[in-house]
Amino acid sequence: MKKLAVFALFIMSILAGSIQVNASSTGIIGPSVIHKEQNKILTIADILDLFTSTLGVIQVADDQFTGYGNVLGSHLIQLFSTDGTTHATKDVEIIVIPSLGNVLAVTDYKNIYLRTNQVLTPGQIVQVLENTGHLEITATTQMMMLSNTYTENASTPGIYLFEFRLVNSAGVNAIYSSVITVSEEDDPFIPDIVFEAPPSLLARAWRFIEPFVYIGALIFIAYLAYKHKKNRKKALYT
């Protein structure tokens, strides 16, 4: 019986160790959802900067974002970290939307990441949060600041609290809190040439027929004016 008990304890310790090794995201700290604007640049390196790990270097195990950062919708990446014994993974959803604001990214719908050259007013911050779906401004809305350590330090790297209260005529009375992280760009990318994507087939077709559409519209307006004038003359002589 004693041997069986020792063997059972041994098996349980192995199982406990395997659960620790395979535990998901326990060693990777960071957001689960990231918002970016369709026409703004957010690289995998920028994304990795948003995470830390107790296990060591964070790597990308599965990348469905790179190459699709300008495609509207949801894209998934999986992060991986290990110290050689314990392994951790974390699934991250990156949501690309048409308009977000003058920001690098927004995490978990409410926490804003900026560079020092990206300065937002309180109203613009609220607009960014509305763009992620964190809040909705309807009817007549009034805002009261509760805490704002960001505005006076907008061009200084640091982590700031932005907390406010929204009240509107629809009955909403809620307090919202965001963390705004401002960072200096270590290696600023200043382009010498900006290449635009070639126009789509539809855009090229419209560019071809556009002059004819305007000419046709002018002819039609002239015809209507002539008809109207002719009808007025006819009415005067009858």
DSSP string, 52-101: EESSS-EEEEEESSTT-TTSSEEEEEEEEEE-SS-EEEEEEEEEEES---
Q: Are residues 116 and 31 in the same domain?
A: no
Q: Are residues 174 and 127 in the same domain?
A: yes
45-89 pLDDT, tens digit per residue, is 999 999 999 999 999 999 999 999 999 999 999 999 999 899 999
Question: For residue 209, what is the domain's CATH number?
Answer: 2.60.40.10
Q: Are residues 112 and 182 in the same domain?
A: yes
Does residue 184 belong to any structural domain of this protein? Answer: yes
Does residue 7 belong to any structural domain of this protein? Answer: no
- Which tokens belong to 137? 């401004």
Residues in the chain: 238
Q: Are residues 93 and 109 in the same domain?
A: no
pTM (whole model) above 0.75: no
- How many domains are contained in the chain? 2
CA distance 127 to 179: 15
87-129 pLDDT, tens digit per residue, is 999 999 999 999 999 999 999 999 999 999 999 999 999 999 9
Q: Are residues 180 and 135 in the same domain?
A: yes
Domain boundary among 59, 82, 99: 99
Q: Are residues 92 and 108 in the same domain?
A: no
Angle subtended at Cα 55 by Cα 51 and Cα 57, rounded to the nearest 5 degrees: 55
Whole domain around residue 152: which residue ranges? 102-213
Residue 29, by phi and psi: left (phi above 0), alpha (psi -120 to 50) or beta? beta
pLDDT of residue 20 exceeding 80, the answer is no
Q: Are residues 87 and 108 in the same domain?
A: no
Percent of the chain with pLDDT over 70: 80
Does residue 1 belong to any structural domain of this protein? Answer: no
Among the ranges 8-12, 157-161, 213-217, 225-229, which has the highest mean pLDDT value?
Answer: 157-161
Q: Are residues 159 and 186 in the same domain?
A: yes
User: What pLDDT does residue 139 have?
Assistant: 77
Q: Are residues 88 and 115 in the same domain?
A: no
59 contacts: CB under 8 Å, gap ≥ 6: 79, 80, 81
